[in-house]
Amino acid sequence: MSPVGVFDSGVGGLSVLAALRAELPHENFVYFADTAYAPYGERGDAYVIERSRAVVEHLLREHGIKALVVACNTATTAAIHLLRADHPDLPIVGLEPGLKPAVASSRTGHISVLATRGTLASAKYANLRASFAGSADVRPVPCDGLVKAIEGFDSGGIAALSERYMAEAGPFGDGPGEVDTVVLGCTHYPLVKEELGKHAPATLRFIDTGVPVAQQTRRLLASAGRLADGTGAAGNLLLQSSGDVAVLEAAAARWLGLSATATA
């Protein structure tokens, strides 16, 4: 059975992969971490487009994927429209910061978005933000260095940067002018949600998009007649990396509790 391809610039997309495997337990997945060329979020659009196209060509050529999940906010904003034009017959699901559910659930109308500088500077994000103009006060917080710290298992760096960026995202609370909802606008950030939460009240809501992406993937597979038979065995998972495979294996073990061998 052909797999669903999932890719990110590194290990952040593992948070989306976890949601996909929970929603679609009978599907085969191949996860590609483009760590040799990461991080995408601090590069220009041309660079991200080139790498995204190269990764998708690899997934099609080597694995014959039947659908693609771009598990990277930066790659989605820079390249997904071109990937869809390149491969019109391939179901493709992308990510965007969860502003819609954040606006819907916020009681104070004050929301902060933690994301990479590339995502926040993109036209796609600007259009998304404009669509909610007047509905909420949305504060962008570019989190330089946080992806690199997560990729490097830098516990000290993760702790320091989490404290710094959550301070910029506040003040938190349920009172007038206080932020009660934080959007995790990069797939890496749900992996350190516990650390981020140390710097906010327990009432603060974090929004990420793993579950909605998994549900949309199911819908597209079903509409294309490519959904796996739900009566079969559990699907297989293949991990691949353009960089150090040991990093991906360690990340899968640390963040998801997966014991899996990665290949180059």
- Which amino acids are annotated catalytic? 72, 186
Residue 73 counted as an annotated binding residue: yes
- Structural contact between residues 186 and 116, judged by C-beta atoms closer than 8 angstroms: yes
Residue 135 counted as an annotated binding residue: no
Angle at 191 between CA 17 and CA 20, to 5 degrees: 15
What is the chain's alpha carbon radius of gyration, rounded to the nearest angstrom?
18
- Structural contact between residues 9 and 217, judged by C-beta atoms closer than 8 angstroms: no
DSSP 3-state of 46: helix
> How far is residue 140 from each of residues 28, 108, 114, 116, 202, measured CA to CA in Å?
36, 17, 6, 10, 21
What residues contact residue 127 under an 8 Å CB cut-off, 6+ apart?
none
Cis ω for the linkage preceding 91 (within 30 of 0): no
Residue 8 counted as an annotated binding residue: yes
Residue 40 counted as an annotated binding residue: yes
Which among 144, 58, 121 has a CA at the least distance from the CA of 68?
A: 58
User: Which residues contribute to the annotated binding site?
Assistant: 8-9, 40-41, 73-74, 187-188
User: Which residues contribute to the annotated binding site for substrate?
Assistant: 8-9, 40-41, 73-74, 187-188
